[in-house]
Amino acid sequence: MFTTKQIAKITGGELVGGDTHVRSVSTDTRTLEKGALFIAVKGERFDGNDYILQAARNGAAAAVSDLAAGTVKTAIPVVYVGNSRTAQLKLARSYRDRFGVKLCGVTGSVGKTSTKDMIYSVLSARYNTLKTEGNFNNDIGLPRTLFRLEEGIEAAVIEMGMSGRGEISELSGAAHPSCAVITNIGYCHIESLKTRENILAAKLEILDGMDEGAPLIVCGDDEYLGKLTRDDIGGRRLLRYGFTEGCDVTAEGITIDETGGRFTLRYGGKAYPAEVPVVGGHHILNALAAFCVGIEFGLSPGEIVPAFMSYEGSGMRQRIERRGDIRVILDCYNASPTSMKSALSVLGEVGTDGRRIAVLGDMLELGEQSKALHAGIAEYAGDFAELFFLYGREMTALRDELQKRGITVFHSINKEELSELLLREIKSGDTILFKGSRGMKMEEIAEKIQ
For residue 288, the tally of other CB atoms under 10 A from its CB is 30
For residue 447, the tally of other CB atoms under 10 A from its CB is 12
DSSP string, 320-360: EEEETTEEEEEE-S---HHHHHHHHHHHHHH--SS-EEEEE
387/402 Cα distance (integer angstroms): 10
Q: In this structure, what DSSP letter does residue 207 have? A: G
139/13 Cα distance (integer angstroms): 19
CA 135 to chain centre: 6
Range 99-310 classified under CATH 1.10.1040.10: no
Q: Buried b vs exposed e over 311-334: b needs ≥16 C-beta within 10 Å? A: beebbbbbbbeeeeebbbbbbbbb
What is the third-level CATH fold of 319-446?
Protein-Tyrosine Phosphatase; Chain A (3.90.190)
Residue-level pLDDT, tens digit, the chain, 450 residues: 999 999 999 999 999 999 999 999 999 999 999 999 999 999 888 899 999 999 999 999 999 999 999 999 999 999 999 999 999 999 999 999 999 999 999 999 888 999 999 999 999 999 999 999 877 899 999 999 999 999 999 999 999 999 889 999 999 999 999 999 999 998 887 888 889 999 999 999 999 999 999 999 999 999 999 999 999 999 999 999 999 999 999 999 999 887 889 999 999 999 999 999 988 889 999 999 999 999 999 999 999 999 999 998 766 566 788 888 899 998 887 888 888 988 998 898 886 678 999 999 999 988 889 999 999 999 999 999 999 999 999 999 999 999 999 999 999 999 999 999 999 999 999 999 999 998 999 999 999 887
Best CATH choice for the domain 2-84 from the list 3.40.1390.10, 2.60.40.1730, 3.90.950.20, 3.40.50.300: 3.40.1390.10
- Assess contact for 358 and 387: CB atoms under 8 A: yes
160/134 Cα distance (integer angstroms): 12
250/53 Cα distance (integer angstroms): 56
- Assess contact for 115 and 290: CB atoms under 8 A: yes
Hey, where are the domains in the chain?
2-84, 99-310, 319-446
Report pTM: 0.86
Compute the half-sphere exposure of residue 398: CA atoms within 13 Å on the CB side of its CA.
32
333/318 Cα distance (integer angstroms): 9
- Assess contact for 90 and 11: CB atoms under 8 A: yes
Residue type, 242: G
